[in-house]
Amino acid sequence: LIEAGAKVAIASDFNPGSSAVADPYFVMHLAARYLKMSPYEILTAFTLNAAAVLGIADTCGTVEPGKNADMICFKDADLLTLPYMIGIKPVEIIKKGRRFAN
């Protein structure tokens, strides 16, 4: 789908009925392992494309002026390690520009 130009969005879809998985990094790992998505494709699917699918791309999905500054920060992490961060907790959470220690 990605090669054909489709915008792919992924998420945990955590709910008690059909998906008991709340860990987004586990879902990212599954996307890398079974869907062969690159770390860049996974990050885009979880942020920009997910916001577009939900109709909230005007306020979320990217970091730029005028948007909600919602981010999570990890120690010593980079894009290539994203699908393998299962169980690793962020060192800081930023929600609408406000910083929270984790």
pLDDT (tens digit, 9 = 90+) per residue, 78-100? 888 887 888 888 889 889 888 98
Give the model's pLDDT for residue 67. 92
Q: Which of 85, 90, 94, 87 is nearest to 102 (CA)?
A: 90
The 3-state DSSP class for residue 99 equals strand
Reported as a pLDDT band with limits 50, 70 and 90, residue 35 is very high
DSSP H/E element including 94: strand 92-95
| 26 has a pLDDT exceeding 80 | yes
pTM of full prediction above 0.85: no
What's the CA gap between 54 and 13, in Å, rounded?
A: 13
Give the model's pLDDT for residue 55. 96
Reported as a pLDDT band with limits 50, 70 and 90, residue 61 is very high
| 102 has a pLDDT exceeding 70 | no
Most confident residue range from 6-10, 56-60, 81-85, 86-90: 56-60
